[in-house]
Amino acid sequence: MQGSSEGGALFSVVWGVLATGFGVIVAADIRGAAGRLLTFSQRSVLFGATRRTPVRPGFFRAVAAVFALLGPVMLVTGVRELAQGDGAVTAGFPPIPLPIAGGMALFTAVAFWQLWRRDGMLRQEWARGAVVERSAAGVLTASLAGFVAALALGGPVFAMGAWLVGGLAGLVLLLGGSRTAPPGRSGGDGR
């Protein structure tokens, strides 16, 4: 069971890094990240429904504050657990049955379609034309494919690595807002 506990430690480290980054960025509303998160969530409604949520950026900031507080705890816990073990994850994931692997592939295909459709989140970020946003969108897409492939093939280190890289690319997209007001707003402080 040592390999599975180390897999849990690696999960805690990755979760802690991403939760801390997400929590601090959104709770502090760095460069308007809470508003961009709200926009991303509204763009990501399944199958292009035009439903608007009654949630405001302040709600995202409050939830992100919880992540900002819990993230470092998980990070320290995971690092401590990795330090107590031999530091390497030796056991892979159990084999995934073919129907579940097919379902994961189908889910990934639908996610790609949602993200890259004409009004999808990543397509709009790509259309902004900045090198950073395009790079982050590409890395996020590749990491999603890599994460699913690593899960299907049973590689926990590669799955956690893809998750970490994809999460960091998502944080770059959160921070990638222009310093001008988002479309539909007049003026703004451009954080």
Confidence of residue 48 (pLDDT cuts 50, 70, 90): low
pLDDT at residue 114, rounded to an integer: 83
Do 14 and 160 meet the contact criterion of CB atoms below 8 Å apart?
yes
Per-domain boundaries in the chain: 2-175
For residues 101 and 167, the model is more confident at 167
**Whats the size of the chain, residue-wise?**
191
Q: What is the pLDDT of residues 73-92, one digit of tens each?
A: 999 998 998 888 755 555 66
Do 71 and 20 meet the contact criterion of CB atoms below 8 Å apart?
yes
How many CB atoms are closer than 10 A to CB 101? Answer: 16
Confidence of residue 95 (pLDDT cuts 50, 70, 90): confident
Q: What is the pLDDT of residues 106-142, one digit of tens each?
A: 998 988 888 888 878 888 888 877 888 889 999 999 9
Exposure on the CB side of residue 188, measured as CA atoms within 13 A:
15
Q: Is the pLDDT of residue 164 over 60?
A: yes
Amino acid identity of residue 190, one-letter, is G
